């Protein structure tokens, strides 16, 4: 029984090495021969895309507000439907 686990681990290691070789062979040999995908050069207009949309900037604030509401609901020992209603009401408040 003691030799069973190392034998399984050795087989798994050997299988992973062989599968790596097979994948490399299917891909065309070495990674030097694989052509990189052609991409257009990045222009200055693409680099300066401008500020993120308000929706993107609002997500962390909503998460922080929801976390604060959940902590307050826990402090008030609300459970079930009352907790859900409290959190929804708290999130709706500015």
Q: What is the pLDDT of residue 57?
A: 74
CB neighbourhood size of 48 (10 A): 7
Round to whole Å and give the CA distance between 11 and 14: 5
Through-space distance between the first and last CA atoms of the chain, rounded to whole angstroms: 65
Segment 62-92, tens digit of pLDDT: 899 999 999 999 999 999 999 999 999 998 8
Structure tokens at 15: 């299988």
DSSP state of 94: -
Q: What is the pLDDT of residue 8?
A: 81
Residue 56: is its pLDDT beyond 70?
Answer: no
Structure tokens at 68: 């604060």
Segment 8-51, tens digit of pLDDT: 878 778 788 777 777 777 776 555 554 555 555 555 555 555 55
């Amino acid at each position: 029984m003691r030799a069973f686990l190392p034998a399984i681990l050795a087989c798994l290691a050997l299988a992973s090495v062989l599968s790596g070789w097979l994948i490399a062979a299917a891909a065309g040999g070495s990674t030097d021969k694989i052509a990189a995908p052609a991409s257009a050069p990045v222009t200055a207009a693409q680099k300066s895309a401008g500020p993120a949309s308000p929706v993107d900037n609002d997500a962390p604030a909503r998460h922080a507000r929801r976390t604060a509401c959940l902590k307050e609901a826990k402090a008030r020992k609300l459970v079930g439907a009352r907790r859900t209603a409290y959190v929804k009401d708290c999130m709706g408040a500015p």
